[in-house]
Amino acid sequence: MNLSHWIERNALEHPDGPAVGLGTKVVHTHGELRGRVERLAGGLQRLGLKRGDRVALAMKNVPEYFEVLFAIWHAGLAAVPMNAKLHASELTYILEDSGSRACFVTPALYETISATNALGLEHIFDVTGDAYAGLLAGESVAISFVEPDELAWLFYTSGTTGRPKGAMLSHRNIVAMTLNYFADFDRVMPDDCIIHPAPLSHGSGMWMFPHVCAGACNIVPETGGFDPAEIFDLIAGWQGVSMFAAPTMVRRLTTWSGEADVTNLKLIIYGGAPMYVEDCIAALDRFGPKLAQLYGQGESPMTITHLSREDIADRNHPHWRHRLGTAGVADSCVHVRVVDEDGQELPAGEKGEIVCRGDSVMLGYWNNPEATASALRGGWLWTGDVGVFDDDGYLTLTDRSKDLIISGGTNVYPREIEEVLLQMPQLAEVCVIGRPHPEWGEVVVAYLVCEPGRAVDQKDVDTYCLANMARFKRPKAYRIVDALPKSNYGKILKTEVREIEKTHDWTD
């Protein structure tokens, strides 16, 4: 099964249906997309690229993204989508680590990629340039046959710790993820669409597949990114609209002050980082029962557990609030467990590392047998996330294993404290870390960002914590800051917050 087979089938079934959109306009129908993919694949093969060769993408979200990806697969090659916001040194690292022979770029990245002089990189194509038009002008070729376990996408993890690692995702992994979407998130129809305000090189790109598989339309915002005003225009202008949004984006949509008609909104799937219960309820109040949550990671893309639209909207359920704070139940195509250090399954109520197995789990890390051996042990993917199942099979993510704070020999899970702090209406964002301490091992420190135009007093926060959490969990210091360091995907970078804590001369 080659993923590109969907492109061929859509062109037969709905040749005139919209396949790719930019803003509110249709850019290509399914029939046109097929023609472009088949000709571009021909161009790639004529360059001398051979089955399994890697082709990188250093592209912001543009309509060409889709034809480039599917042409790579049509030609029997493997794609290496890179986040366009990465630093030149990180792009060089990925190009060289993956051994990419060609790279497609959007214009602003042409110079950067040329200047990398990455070893092994033979061809660079600006998707707005003549050379690209030349590739598209040649003869089309037939789809390549690939094995289900052949590499399709080298997914470089965001690398908040250490060097990025390339999770090898096969055609089978992506098919499994796609079918899982239909089983656990939504049934997609050809009249539906997905808008991509988040980078296509990451989670949003993964949700492209169920929409291609269903013959629906993939849409790139005209701004190429996330602008709430444009998102609401797109929702009003298209039908059956879905999107993937990081929790920070959901929050910005929820609190956007303009008028918004969300009749055509079908589903917002949030995930990738914790979403606080209060934010989830506010989003539900604004958008209605159109929210679902995913928990996944590059190593099992978008597919470990989910909290369904029905669960999120079920306000009368006795466990509703508790469930909103969980990542939901195991997905249909994976087996998920919480285990101790030896891999022994732990009963409900006990915290341990989350492991999973199934067809969505990566083949391993590219060129990195040690990292592979540590992540894939005993047939399971060890996620590095810590969690606990409740009696009904709902998984609460308490933290990443390395994020645990141990104070006076007692485990403290930052997430728990963050949840409590976030209930203070003055606070917009919080980040709780451990600071080394000679007596206690570590002490809890909370970084706080206020809502615009609001302020808090450290004493008030402390009183609030005393009233709402066990004494030993209460932060020993509060740092009120203007902003927190974030990754390109909007995740708070705890490693950097820890660094700030180490290097600043705080007066306590």
| Residue 252 CB, nearest approach to ligand AMP (Å) | 18
- Structure tokens that stand for 189 in this block: 């129809």
Q: Is the dihedral of CA 503, 472, 345, 174 positive or negative?
A: negative
| Residue 354 CB, nearest approach to ligand AMP (Å) | 8
Please tell me whether residue 295 binds ligand AMP under the rule CB under 6 A.
yes
Show the binding pattern over residues 177-216: x = contacts ligand AMP (CB under 6 A), - = does not: ----------------------------------------
Please tell me whether residue 274 binds ligand AMP under the rule CB under 6 A.
yes
Strands (E), 390-426: 395-400, 405-407, 410-412
Please tell me whether residue 297 binds ligand AMP under the rule CB under 6 A.
yes
| Residue 237 CB, nearest approach to ligand AMP (Å) | 29
Nearest residue (CB) to ligand AMP, 38 versus 429? 429
The residue range among 182-190, 258-266, 271-279, 500-508 that interacts with ligand AMP, by the rule CB under 6 A, is: 271-279
Please tell me whether residue 44 binds ligand AMP under the rule CB under 6 A.
no
The residue range among 22-30, 251-259, 288-296, 364-372 that interacts with ligand AMP, by the rule CB under 6 A, is: 288-296
3-state secondary structure of 389: strand
Work out which of 114, 140, 144, 158 binds ligand AMP, going by CB under 6 A.
Answer: 158
Rounded distance, CA 250 to CA 239, Å?
20
Is the Cβ–Cβ distance between 171 and 3 less than 8 Å? yes
Rounded distance, CA 69 to CA 59, Å?
11
Residue in 402, 395, 404, 390 with CA at minimum distance from that of residue 442: 404
Rounded distance, CA 269 to CA 318, Å?
24
The b/e string for 22-51 (b: 16+ C-beta within 10 A; e otherwise) is bbeebbbbbebbbbbbbbbbbbbbebebee
| Residue 161 CB, nearest approach to ligand AMP (Å) | 11
| Residue 449 CB, nearest approach to ligand AMP (Å) | 19
The residue range among 115-123, 169-177, 179-187, 267-275 that interacts with ligand AMP, by the rule CB under 6 A, is: 267-275
| Residue 477 CB, nearest approach to ligand AMP (Å) | 25
Q: Count the Cβ atoms, other than its own, within 10 Å of residue 451.
A: 14
| Residue 203 CB, nearest approach to ligand AMP (Å) | 6
Please tell me whether residue 157 binds ligand AMP under the rule CB under 6 A.
yes
Rounded distance, CA 205 to CA 198, Å?
8
Nearest residue (CB) to ligand AMP, 42 versus 271? 271
Is the Cβ–Cβ distance between 266 and 192 less than 8 Å? yes
Q: Which residues pair with 170 in a beta bridge?
A: 151
Q: Report the largest interatomic distance among the alpha carbons of the chain, rounded to a whole angstrom.
A: 72
Task: Give the DSSP H or E segment for 403.
Answer: none
The residue range among 192-200, 295-303, 314-322, 424-432 that interacts with ligand AMP, by the rule CB under 6 A, is: 295-303
| Residue 475 CB, nearest approach to ligand AMP (Å) | 21
Span 368-397, contacts to ligand AMP by CB under 6 A: 383, 385, 397
Strands (E), 72-127: 78-82, 102-105, 123-126
What residue has token string 């950097």?
496
The residue range among 20-28, 292-300, 312-320, 443-451 that interacts with ligand AMP, by the rule CB under 6 A, is: 292-300
Please tell me whether residue 495 binds ligand AMP under the rule CB under 6 A.
no
Is the Cβ–Cβ distance between 121 and 47 less than 8 Å? no
Span 395-414, contacts to ligand AMP by CB under 6 A: 397, 400
| Residue 364 CB, nearest approach to ligand AMP (Å) | 15
Residue 496 CB-density burial (10 A; 0-12 exposed, 13-18 middle, 19+ buried): middle
Please tell me whether residue 334 binds ligand AMP under the rule CB under 6 A.
no
Q: Is the dihedral of CA 109, 110, 112, 118 positive or negative?
A: positive
Nearest residue (CB) to ligand AMP, 215 versus 296? 296
Please tell me whether residue 80 binds ligand AMP under the rule CB under 6 A.
no
Please tell me whether residue 298 binds ligand AMP under the rule CB under 6 A.
yes
For ligand AMP, the binding residues (CB under 6 A) are 157-158, 271-274, 293-298, 327, 383, 385, 397, 400
